Structure 1
Amino acid sequence: MSLTLADARIVTPEGVHEGWLTIEDGRITHVGQGSAPGPGLALGGRHVVPGFVDVHNHGGAGGSFPTGDLDEARTAVALHRRHGTTTTMASLVSDAPERLARAAAALAELCEEGLLAGIHFEGPYIARGRCGAHDPALLREPSPQEFAGLVKAGRGHVRMLTIAPELPGALDTIRLAAAEGVIAAIGHTEADYDRTIAGIDAGASLATHLYNAMPQLGHRAPGPIAALLDDERVTVELINDGVHVHPAMLRLAYEVAGPGRTVLVTDAMSAAGLGDGAYQLGSMRVRVDDGVARLVEGGSIAGSTLTMDVAFRRAVRELGLSLPDAVQVTSLTPARVLGLTGSIGSIAAGKAADLVVLSPDLEVDAVMKDGAWITEPC
């Protein structure tokens, strides 16, 4: 089956082009400028961007990845796809090793179906004093042997581990993760600058939601934020929901890391796409008020209700990013983090037809996954 999308403003890494593209068998075959060479679906000048890639997501629409329930996972993926996220990582939270292994084994099935891009263990190897919405009773010192068992349970689909590098056994666990092809992400940490650099030297290459759940920047004690931003080996996650990080600090991080080292994430939990009320994140009770998720006990921020289309619009409107740069931090750079730029992350011939059609005010008008419409253009 062949389809041409015509009269579109196509956003590529090189810029925004008035033009067209063709799709065959789920892949982009041609991208051109000007008028399409034949009949096609006219988009009336609407923008077409690559599908968003979210590397940190706990759920949505009432579905939660940490439960390991496949129906819940499918519900969450469907919600985020409607909002333009065509590639989703399933993030778990700290739990007992046997429950983490069961959840990973279950979610591996959806990875094998192509519904999920991989599994992310956020914890349990994190700092007690920076545990945020994680149950402190479930935190443990890192164990390479234990983590190897979790990787085995995930049947090759464990893609990321968030870890505090100052903990005993952390550096060995980071080395093991790197050897297994698992992205080691520094987060939920009390590490100082030097210990953070040691984690990076051991193989860590990502910062889990920079600024959040780590010591603040200091001019004499720069801490992990400065180390993670300053090191060219590290890509930084940012939650651009207007709650987790002030726009001025988002702009500061972006100015240092640039589009090639910045990844916008949702850190969404099951309340995403729903209203205020009571929810669960792992073993922790959460209350959402005015769209902000917080723990019932203690009031810590508990993930977000963000979707990637909102993060994209905020990147343009609040942070002042150009459309190509906004696409890079929501699609191309996260695809690079996952090692998937050969197939997703930008609009180019040969790549998967994972596309989002945006209205003039950058609202999602239609979403396509592998050449099939999830929601069709209005």
Structure 2
Amino acid sequence: MTTLFQQVQIVLENRIIQGNVLVQDGIITHISADGEAAVPAHAGWTVVDGQGGWLLPGFIDIHVHGGFGADFMDADAGSYDAITRFHSSHGTTGMLATTVTASKEAIEQVLAAAHSYCSGNMPYAALLGVHLEGPFISEKWPGAQNPAFIAEPNLEWLQQWISAYPGLIRMLTLAPEKKGALELISWLNEHGIAAAAGHTDANYEEIARAADAGLTHAVHTFNAMRGLHHREPGTAGAVLTDDRIYAEIIADGEHVHPAAVRLLASSKPADKLILITDAISAAGMPDGEYELGGLPVTLKDGAARLSGSGNLAGSSLTMMGAFRFMLDHTELTVPDVSRLASGNPAKRLGLFHTTGSIAAGKRADLVLADTNFEVLGTWVGGSRVYERDGQRE
């Protein structure tokens, strides 16, 4: 199958060109700027007229719990279809199925379901693996995680899981200050699993020791972690200043003030900041009552909160929504924000050689948006998985 994208603003790694992109058998084979020798369309090709809109590399969401009424904890292929279909309509082409702090049995059900789903024909955004958020987190910072299932770091569980599902677990969020955490972090690092700090009361020195042991990531920076103080920089201060650590950010205006988003963006190296959604089942749904990890959640005016405590409970954010927020509230350029949504998460997962940017030889994971960054179409491996009504070919 061959697809030719014409009249698009192509977002490359460090610049934007107006031109055309040719995709053959799921691979980007040719990129030409207007004024250069373009590939003429042939009979039988699909021609997509971008009408001056944006062609972006597909978004990769490494921290997402659900969407459109479904949760990855459902451990059900139908739910996984609903989640990946919804997020593909907002530009996501790959994601990590993210768990919550739950029982060992419930986590194992997700691993089994995700392994089965990844092994089949994924019709929408691709599952790229699993992100275990918990259960080895701090009792002091549960956020919207269920405190009943918080556990001490358990290497035996991880050994069982990677033996049963090799390569499936890509990231694990834990509190690095807990007993046994440093040993687990070192083991994760040795086995190619990203160790992430989150839901943690670790001080600055504890995060530094964890980074020495192999910690390389921080989830939803500023949220559910010890904050920044000028005499004790805390978890947040360590994440801001340690260039070994990737930092996630939920850019929705609810979780983090725009000024703090700008502070993080100016503090981290350009390749160490990553946009995520932390979206839950309520994403894409009307205001009402939902659930996260067995806890009741109320969605009102787009903000999801635990019905009892009022703690923020994930989000209803989409990756394109986060993309627009960064353009509106920071000085970052379109290529800059594209790296946060696509290139950097691809690098985080070791996939940048195949996806995460628009380049000849890479898989055609692409998003076409209009000039206002509203998604018109999404392609995974060259196959169209979302088309907005009225989009012309």
Scaled by the length of structure 2, what TM-score is found? 0.94
Task: Select the residue among 56, 81, 89 that pairs with 2:88.
Answer: 81
Q: After the TM superposition, which parts of structure 1 deviate over 4 Å for at least 4 consecutive aligned residues?
A: none
Query: Is the 2:56–2:368 contact (alpha carbons within 8 Å) kept by the matching residues of 1?
Result: yes
Following superposition, the deviation at residue 264 of structure 1 comes to 0.5
Report deviation, 1:150: 2.8
C-alpha separation in 1, matches of 2:360 and 2:342 = 16
1:47-58 aligned at under 5 Å gives the runs 47-58=54-65
State how far apart, in whole Å, the 1-side matches of 2:165 and 2:127 are. Answer: 12
Show the counterpart of 1:120: 131
List aligned pairs for 1:232-271, cutoff 5 A. Answer: 232-271=243-282
1:152 corresponds to 2:163? yes
1:18 aligns with 2:18: yes
Q: CA deviation at 1:70?
A: 1.8
Report if the CA contact (8 A) 2:68-2:285 is conserved: yes
Native 8 Å contact 2:176 2:206 kept in 1: yes
Rounded to whole Å, the distance in 1 between the matches of 2:315 and 2:159 is 30
Matches for 1:344-355 after TM superposition, within 5 Å: 344-355=355-366
Q: Distance in 1 between matches of 2:278 and 2:165?
A: 21
Q: Does 1:38 align with 2:45?
A: no
Output the CA distance in 2 between the equivalents of 1:180 and 1:300: 34
1:339 corresponds to which residue? 350
Counterpart residue type for residue 134 of structure 2 = G
Structure 1 CA distance for aligned equivalents of residues 310 and 165 of structure 2: 32
Q: Where does residue 190 of structure 1 map in the other structure?
A: 201
1:155 Cα deviation (Å)?
A: 3.6
Q: Deviations over 1:95-153 (max 9, x none)?
A: 11122112111111122235300101100000011010111110011011122223334
Moved more, 141-150 or 167-176: 141-150
2:322 aligned with 1:316: no
**Is the partner of 1:45 in helix, strand or coil?**
strand
User: Identical aligned pairs, as a percentage?
Assistant: 39
The number of aligned residues is 378
> Could you tell me whether the CA contact under 8 Å between 2:227 and 2:237 is conserved in 1?
no
Equivalent residue number for residue 386 of structure 2: 375
- 1:54-107 Cα offsets, whole Å, 9 max, x none, are 000000001100221221111101100111000011000011112211211111
Q: For residue 358 of structure 1, report the CA deviation from its aligned partner.
A: 1.1
The residue that corresponds to 1:59 in the other structure is: 66
Tell whether 2:296 aligns with 1:285: yes
Aligned to 2:44: none
Whole-Å separation in 2 of the counterparts to 1:137 and 1:151: 25
Instruction: Give, in angstroms, the shift of residue 232 of structure 1.
Output: 1.5
Compared with structure 1, are the counterparts of its residues 73 and 375 closer, same or farther at alpha carbon in structure 2 (3 Å cutoff)?
closer
Alignment partner, residue 8 of structure 1: 8
Contact 1:101-1:153 at 8 Å conserved across structures = no
Q: CA deviation at 1:181?
A: 1.1
Q: Work out whether residues 104 and 153 of structure 1, in 8 Å CA contact, stay in contact via their aligned partners in 2.
A: no
Q: Quick one: distance in 2 between partners of 1:153 and 1:94?
A: 20
State the Cα deviation string for residues 211-262 of structure 1 (Å, max 9, x = none): 0001110000001111112112111000001100000000000001143110
Whole-Å separation in 2 of the counterparts to 1:232 and 1:319: 21
Q: Secondary structure at the match of 1:117?
A: strand
What is the alpha-carbon distance in structure 2 between the residues aligned to residue 321 and residue 153 of structure 1? 42
Q: Answer with 346-355 or 312-321: which moved more.
A: 312-321
Distance, in Å, in 2 between the alignment partners of 1:339 and 1:58 is 21
Alpha-carbon distance in 2 for matches of 1:298, 1:2: 53
Cα distance in 1 for residues equivalent to 2:130 and 2:97: 5
Please give the root-mean-square deviation of Cα atoms over the aligned residues, in Å. Answer: 1.2
| Normalised TM-score (structure 1) | 0.97
